[in-house]
Amino acid sequence: MSSPTLDLTQPLSEILRLSTKEAHDSIAFSPAAAKLSNGELLKEEYVRFLMMLWHVYAALEEGLERHATHPVLEPTYNPTLLKRAPSLSSDIAQLLQVPESTWESHPLHQSLINSPPQAMSAYVERIHAISNSGDPTPLVAHAYVRYLGDLSGGQTIRHSLAKAYNLDEAASEGLSFYAFKELSSSKPASLGEMKRIKDWFRNGMNEGAGDNVAVKAAIAQEASDVFRYNGDLFGAILEHPDLDQVQKELPVSPKAHYGSGFAVSSVLAVITAVSVAHFFLVVGGFSGPRGFAKLAAAEQWFTSFWGATV
């Protein structure tokens, strides 16, 4: 059941934002997620992860298509805009340097399906169970967690992966999973447009659920479970008992990472933060008791601003 402190009279998007924050943060700071975000996975590990995601998205998007006219699901159903399974298939083939029609027979994928991680099996089975049930509305939770995650954190991951695996980011070479089109055209979506897509999706969820507190409670509970499924899937990235047998089949390895170094982007971020802090302290007059109050107000503004943009 949903948390007793959850106000189910709020729009569904706000309920999900509040009810999943802790689960989201837990996954974001997990070891496997950190390796993925920093481009530190072996190429074999990353491709295997994409294969697991492909199975998840294939199940999810089959279910969404099957129930496309359901009143709760219809407002957010836009496969032209959101569908990810075809992009994953293309990226896997690109990374393996094989025709797209053949990657499923690659030793790395055969190893995966012969000994599927429990995390992947449980995730896919749950999606199938919802799709085959009399109430497919919890699929909204699965779409929410996956698609909005791809539109948000996925864009940062994309830059790291391009550098790690020598991919052409401008051409989306092996990175089409993280590329989206604009809402109203076939042009590549900018970061600003991706925010509009997320707003469109949230509004669609709110429209679909309406004021039905039972529907909102069920979706909120499922969303918490979906984060757990994704956390387990991240953990499965580093579980590869047969990886040594297929490692030689992969054509490229990631660039070397130097343990004592720092990413240039991280250094620039720190420098920028220090510079901004210095500016506010000097120009804004943040000194003494009154200055401290102003500093606290500024901190609150920054927090609310970033929270509104994610």
**Cα separation of 143 and 204, whole Å?**
12
Q: Residue 278 pLDDT more than 60?
A: no
Binding residues: 17, 24, 144, 202
Residues β-bridged to residue 188: 181
| 117 contacts: CB under 8 Å, gap ≥ 6 | 52, 233, 236, 239
pLDDT digits (tens, 9 = 90+) for 51-68: 999 999 999 999 999 999
Q: Averaged over 22-32, what is the pLDDT? A: 82
What is the model's pLDDT at position 253?
43
Q: Are 227 and 149 in contact (CB under 8 A)?
A: no
Long-range contacts of the stretch 146-149 (C-beta < 8 A, 24+): 146/56, 146/57, 146/60, 146/84, 146/226, 146/230, 147/82, 147/84, 147/201, 148/198, 148/201, 149/230
CATH 1.20.910.10 residue spans of the chain? 12-249
pLDDT digits (tens, 9 = 90+) for 115-152: 999 999 999 999 999 999 999 999 999 999 999 999 98
What CATH architecture is 12-249?
Up-down Bundle (1.20)
Q: Averaged over 185-212, what is the pLDDT? A: 96
Binding residues for heme b: 17, 24, 144, 202
Cα pseudo-dihedral 103, 105, 106, 107, rounded to 10: 160
More confident residue, 226 or 261: 226
Q: Which band of pLDDT confidence, cut at 50, 70 and 90, is reported for residue 229?
A: very high
Q: Averaged over 37-45, what is the pLDDT? A: 93
Highest mean pLDDT: which of 34-38, 96-100, 166-170?
96-100
Q: What is the CA radius of gyration of the chain?
A: 21
Average pLDDT, the chain: 82
Q: Residue 33 pLDDT more than 70?
A: yes
pLDDT digits (tens, 9 = 90+) for 280-293: 333 344 444 444 44
The amino acid that residue 76 corresponds to is T
